[in-house]
Amino acid sequence: MQEIAIIQPALAAWELQNKRLVSLINSLTDDQLSREITTGKNTGHYLLGHLVAVSDGMLPLLGINDRLFPELTTIFIQNPDKSGLEKTPISTLKTQLQAVNQHLSAGFATHSASNWLGRHTAVSEADFEKEPHRNKLNLLHNRTNHLAYHLGQMALLKA
């Protein structure tokens, strides 16, 4: 019980950042989201796709599910904003974000505390023995901060 209480704030932090992201993208028009954060930097559209793709990638890393939208990886992770690749439309990305977050929440609900301290699937068993801090909880923290980092940037699109 105590152990789960210690995990709880990390899950709450993840949910809070996602709630803020959803609230932000719903408050911005597609036109606003299509703009660069500042001259020459990423657009809100690219950052939204990037965040959906990174969250989607958490599903296999945490052993919950395969990626739901593997096609996002090429467009929004492996290539930069100005790659010339056709971007998944903003409205589609919003729906995909919802689906990914639902799968993550369902998966989190089944994770025990000791599960959170286990390795994520990008770390080999041998490496995990040497670097036991590379566990699932650590991944969740890093992804939450990654989300907050880009959320701070996207918030600059507000008038």
Q: What are the b/e assignments for 87-107, b being 16+ CB within 10 Å?
A: bbebeebbebbeebbebbeee
Which residues have CB under 8 Å from 137's CB, separation 6+? 7, 10, 116, 117
* DSSP output for 64-78: S---S-THHHIIIII
Instruction: State which of positions 115-134 bind a copy of itself (CB under 8 A).
Output: 116-117, 133
Stretch that binds a copy of itself, among 1-9, 48-56, 57-65, 71-79 (CB under 8 A): 1-9
Among 105, 113, 115, 128, binds a copy of itself (CB under 8 A): 113
Rounded to whole angstroms, the Cα distance separating 120 from 50 reads 21
Interaction between residue 109 and a copy of itself (CB under 8 A): no
Query: Between 3 and 30, whose beta carbon lies closer to a copy of itself?
Result: 3
Sign of torsion over alpha carbons 66, 23, 50, 128: negative
Interaction between residue 98 and a copy of itself (CB under 8 A): no
x/- site string to a copy of itself, residues 9 to 48, per CB under 8 A?
xx-xx--xx-------------------xx--x-------
Interaction between residue 111 and a copy of itself (CB under 8 A): no
Rounded to whole angstroms, the Cα distance separating 45 from 81 reads 9
What is the nearest approach in angstroms of a copy of itself to the Cβ of residue 102? 22
Query: Between 88 and 138, whose beta carbon lies closer to a copy of itself?
Result: 138
Residues making contact with a copy of itself (CB under 8 A)? 2-3, 5-10, 12-13, 16-17, 37-38, 41, 113-114, 116-117, 133, 135, 137-138, 140-142, 144-146, 148-153, 155-156
